[in-house]
Amino acid sequence: MTKTIAVIGAMDTKGNDYLFVRREIEQRGYRTLVINTGVLGEPTLEVDVTASQVANAGGSSLEKLRKRRDKSIAMNVMTKGIAIIMKKLFEKGQIHAGFSMGGTNGTIIGTAGLRALPIGVPKVMVSTVAAGDTVPYVGFSDVVMFPSVLDVSGLNRVSAQIYANAVGAIIGMVQTGVPKIESKPIITASMFGNTTTLVNKCKSRLEDEGFEMMVFHATGTGGKTMESLIEKGFIRGVLDVTPTELADYLVGGVLNAGPTRLDAAAKKGIPQVIAPGCLDMVNFWGIHTVPDRFKNRQLYEWNSNVTLMRTTPDENNRLGSLLARKLNRASGPVAVFLPLKGISELDSPRGIFWNPEANDALFQAIKDEIHNNIPVYEIDCNINDEEFSNRVSGKLLEFLEDER
């Protein structure tokens, strides 16, 4: 079967660029399905999905958008519409990959359409902002951002080579088959450098028991992605032993996963085993980026680009309360494990962040506010010790066995 690549863009202003891309794709033996998202004028090449259809899907009409001449409204309508169109096309089996090009506005619309495709479906965005902060465009998806180098505004010897390379990238993805991997129930885990030893031990045991382990680095984006997969129903169990993003959310660090961190599993009723890993630290970039209000705090340069700040007893008290309140909403089985000799590699009896008073405040707040039906286990070891990994992984296996 010949596969079809959806090509998204403003065909009224960048028609020549897209005509080149369409020819490159079709010359390599693939079909294209061209979607026009431009509202200013008529397309300069033949399209398969019109701007009017995209506008209608977004809740308006092309005629209204042109009359209002409000760029912000047009952007919102076309962004909403392209996501709906792409989702429907994929579900009907009419497209197998997505490709787009543009500047800032084109990237917003194009990536909205690409993100509507499931993870694993090839998607490439040739963009003027591919070399900057791509989080607003990529989100939790696997969109490949391809730097355009020049503005997407016509063909020349440089842009033609860039476009051809990008077409080669999307076709290479389409051609790449997925190796057969045994389908296993999936467990997610949160990890940081300071809990790597713990998670690796748990991963080994859980995989030996027939589960697939997906480990997410607790960098803000990692936590959001994990929550998204749980929300979508892909996950059987959760080993959330590094909820450090809560500390950044509460105190003001840079690895903030937002207010909904730890909410998805509670809503879905998925078994959870929780430990307060790395709630002893708040994250900043290089030490020169630490806000002035924190300059006199206990800081540790983890590396040249990451600075850790030790949380205080007051902050830990609030973190414990926040964690307990979130877990109290769970509709499925939950257990909490507290490592009495430290919640990170740095927080151990000989570690630079060792602070029993702060840890006690965290633990006590959890115990005071957690519901009686949620067990709390206090383990006399560090979070990275083998005893702790055995206890938390064993409890999750117990929950999962009960669910069968």
Q: Are residues 170 and 204 in the same domain?
A: no
Token pair of 261, please? 């961190």
404 pLDDT band, cuts 50/70/90, is low
Last residue of a domain, one of 175, 195, 223: 175
**pLDDT for res 321:** 98
Domains of the chain: total:
2
Q: Are residues 134 and 235 in the same domain?
A: no
Q: Are residues 152 and 220 in the same domain?
A: no
Residue 271 sits in a domain of what CATH number? 3.40.50.12030
Residue 112 pLDDT exceeds 80: yes
| Domain assignment of residue 326, yes or no | yes
How far is residue 389's CA from residue 381's CA, in Å, rounded to a whole number? 10
Tell me the H-state helices in 1-68: 15-27, 51-57, 62-68
Tell me the H-state helices in 92-141: 104-115, 135-138
| Domain assignment of residue 145, yes or no | yes
Last residue of a domain, one of 144, 175, 206: 175
Q: Are residues 83 and 140 in the same domain?
A: yes
| Domain assignment of residue 312, yes or no | yes
pLDDT tens-digit series, residues 238-291: 999 999 999 999 999 999 999 999 999 999 999 999 999 999 999 999 999 999
| Domain assignment of residue 121, yes or no | yes
| Domain assignment of residue 181, yes or no | no
Last residue of a domain, one of 111, 142, 175: 175
Q: Are residues 24 and 141 in the same domain?
A: yes
Q: Are residues 91 and 228 in the same domain?
A: no
| Domain assignment of residue 13, yes or no | yes
Q: Are residues 95 and 122 in the same domain?
A: yes
How far is residue 236's CA from residue 64's CA, in Å, rounded to a whole number? 47
**pLDDT for res 181:** 66
How far is residue 298's CA from residue 344's CA, in Å, rounded to a whole number? 16
**Strand locations in 212-263, DSSP E?**
212-217, 237-240
Residue 14 pLDDT exceeds 80: no
Q: Are residues 297 and 194 in the same domain?
A: yes
How far is residue 61's CA from residue 297's CA, in Å, rounded to a whole number? 56
Tell me the H-state helices in 235-385: 245-251, 264-268, 313-328, 356-369
| Domain assignment of residue 180, yes or no | no
Q: Are residues 206 and 78 in the same domain?
A: no
Let me know how long the chain is.
404
- Can you give the residue range of the structural domain that contains 262? 186-403
Residue 177 pLDDT exceeds 80: no
Residue 99 sits in a domain of what CATH number? 3.40.50.12020
Token pair of 155, please? 């063909």
Q: Are residues 151 and 200 in the same domain?
A: no
Q: Are residues 80 and 24 in the same domain?
A: yes
Q: Are residues 134 and 262 in the same domain?
A: no
pLDDT tens-digit series, residues 178-236: 777 667 899 999 999 999 999 999 999 999 999 999 999 999 989 998 998 999 888 99
**pLDDT for res 234:** 87
| Domain assignment of residue 80, yes or no | yes
